[in-house]
Structure 1
């Protein structure tokens, strides 16, 4: 096999890894709304199914990680190829942890089973689930298509989820004060709010890794001028 043939094979293997990771991410995108439905519907059977299925996510994550390490060991990649493989390993971890958070939402659903949630709580839970799923969908597609601009937008999308998280906590306090839920249910829901917020953080991490793959950008480095903060009049607020 010629050097060119080896290079083509390596590129195909990188593409396969990317596709596998994207499928794993797409699975989490579907898992978030499913976990939300389970929570809202007090679906014990669905919760059990998601909890038991986490083993498969762990297995697939480990399998793809091993492929990445094998490519690094056998191909000794440099520059962009090395960035992609190292980032892939980190992205896998973010996806796997997000799947774990969906499992945790299902476990919380079991803990508060038979407790009624008022319409305000149900509404904010639904919004958090929708936004977390939207974030993960965008992060996965940005990674799959190497779209650094799309990945950069995830920070702003996550800011909205952070705001929903704060609203969720406020609604929990109000519902408890009104006597609609007891303290233990309030505590469990506060933890669930944190789970959604963390899923968003993992999606942002995937976006940052995607930007690193695309152009070598690191979070501690200033990005192109498009990320600059502008004053109300449109001027650069950072200028003196």
Structure 2
């Protein structure tokens, strides 16, 4: 590869990285937004986010195609190949997280007009804040190629996992107290899982960032079962 071609190749790599970072920043802002939509019963906001998910899908496809094109045309090796292969996987994590935000909005529509008690509202707010923080840190670690920052994400995710368990417990307590009916409880349990999965995707981004930086591979990487997560639509609507 000539010096000119190599320079152009790295410019395109930088463009891909910046494009992914923009998507990640979008998800970082989207998480607290959908949390407020859920808490406020904002039907108009929910519709806007659900329709806007097509933008994330289209941009993800565009970035993936750019990566595949560079692999095919430039035949990169070593660190450059790690960067491109990891970018493809990171794009999937970011796009799936945007899908999960849209799913939270679908759940918000299904529980519309049902009041949530203070404990539920508080734990939902905490889950949204931590999930957003995780994605912010993951995005900035990737953008800045910061392996140390990326390594901290796993511990941050442990806190979100704890919040997830607390969320489920509060759902049981609220239902037992007669504050929410069974269908609302089911929808909220799915929402709790959505937040937890957003955190897992952020950890995935962090692990792939560490792989880009120094080739680090986790001993027991997170399962990437993107297809095993039920959509809120799989559950009967609340009455």
Q: What TM-score comes out, normalization by structure 1 length?
A: 0.91
Aligned match of 1:146: 145
Aligned match of 2:183: 184
Aligned match of 1:24: 23
- SS of residue matched to 2:113: coil
- SS of residue matched to 1:146: coil
Aligned match of 1:103: 102
Aligned match of 1:119: 118
Ranges of 4+ aligned residues in structure 1 off by more than 6 Å:
none
Aligned match of 1:235: none
- SS of residue matched to 2:219: coil
Give me the whole-angstrom Cα distance separating, in 2, the residues matched to 1:220 and 1:73: 30
1:78-115 superposed Cα distances (whole Å, 9 cap, x missing partner): 00000000000000000000000000000000000000
Alpha-carbon offset, residue 22 of structure 1 = 0.2
Alpha-carbon offset, residue 220 of structure 1 = 1.8
Give me the whole-angstrom Cα distance separating, in 2, the residues matched to 1:85 and 1:35: 31
Aligned match of 1:158: 157
Aligned match of 1:42: 41
Residue 7, structure 1, aligned to residue 6, structure 2: yes
Aligned match of 2:169: 170
Aligned match of 2:32: 33
Give me the whole-angstrom Cα distance separating, in 1, the residues matched to 2:56 and 2:214: 29
Gaps of 5+ in 1: 222-240
Give me the whole-angstrom Cα distance separating, in 2, the residues matched to 1:104 and 1:15: 31
Aligned match of 1:230: none
Alpha-carbon offset, residue 180 of structure 1 = 0.3
Alpha-carbon offset, residue 3 of structure 1 = 1.0
Structure exhibiting the larger radius of gyration computed from Cα positions: 1
- SS of residue matched to 1:115: coil
Alpha-carbon offset, residue 203 of structure 1 = 0.1
Alpha-carbon offset, residue 72 of structure 1 = 0.2
Give me the whole-angstrom Cα distance separating, in 2, the residues matched to 1:66 and 1:8: 20
Give me the whole-angstrom Cα distance separating, in 2, the residues matched to 1:208 and 1:182: 40
Deviates more, 1:2-11 or 1:53-62: 2-11
- SS of residue matched to 1:194: helix
Give me the whole-angstrom Cα distance separating, in 2, the residues matched to 1:3 and 1:112: 59
Gaps of 5+ in 2: 221-239
Within 5 A, what are the aligned runs for 1:218-233? 218-220=217-219
Alpha-carbon offset, residue 146 of structure 1 = 0.2
Aligned match of 2:201: 202
- SS of residue matched to 1:56: helix
